[in-house]
Amino acid sequence: MTTIAAIQGDDFAVIAFDSMVSEGGEKVFILPRSLPKVVKVNDSILGAAGDLRAVNLISTFELSIPEPELRGRELDMWFGQTFVPDLKELFEDSGYEKENEHESTIIAVMNCTIFEVGTSYEWLRDDRGVYSIGSGSPYAMGYLRGLGSGVLKDFVAARDAVVRAVELAVEMDPMTGGPVYVEYLKRT
């Protein structure tokens, strides 16, 4: 599986993720940095936990990104009206969908705002700004929530926290492993 941990600050978003995947529990692969579970595309970051097919699709095909000035409710509206339908269309056209569902949880960062998209294309944002998905998620989230809200204010502290959260998941979750990588967006 996967562990992806993310923090959304006032003017940044940072995501750390592992690099191990397994094929039916029989084979284990360590993904190269050039083919990660989380990709930075233009001014957005997209990642997936669950089925590797979702990672292949979101890292290979270009999805819509919002205008840089969109924030708050306008960004939420754009995400629900544009991004989610585009993602659904990509999955449908690629045969990676059955009866309006897919097999992964998607994390998307748009304009330094983090969204989580579930298997039925439901989506949300967490007002606390802390996210974790994948099989090692409980370990990563426990660590991040234990740090308190102060880590949300500082980019370096947030970056270090998400990396450490995924490193802890690597230690605890047998389906999380390999090198830990980081991607981020900062407002200028």
Residue predicted with more confidence, 18 or 43: 18
Q: Is 3 helix (H, G, I), strand (E, B) or coil?
A: strand
CATH class of domain segment(s) 3-186: alpha beta
Cβ partners under 8 Å of residue 89, min gap 6: none
pLDDT band at 89 (very low <50, low <70, confident <90, very high): very high
How far is residue 104's CA from residue 136's CA, in Å, rounded to a whole number? Answer: 14
pLDDT value of residue 151? 79
Q: What is the pLDDT of residues 99-144, one digit of tens each?
A: 889 999 999 999 999 999 999 999 999 999 999 999 999 999 999 9
Per-residue pLDDT of 142-183, as tens digits, reads: 999 999 877 788 999 999 999 999 999 999 999 999 999 999
CA distance 165 to 132: 9
Helix (H) or strand (E) holding 142: helix 137-146
Mean pLDDT of the chain: 93
Tokens of 122: 């439901």
Burial of 23 (0-12, 13-18, 19+ CB in 10 A): exposed
What pLDDT sits at residue 172?
96
Residue 98: what pLDDT? 84
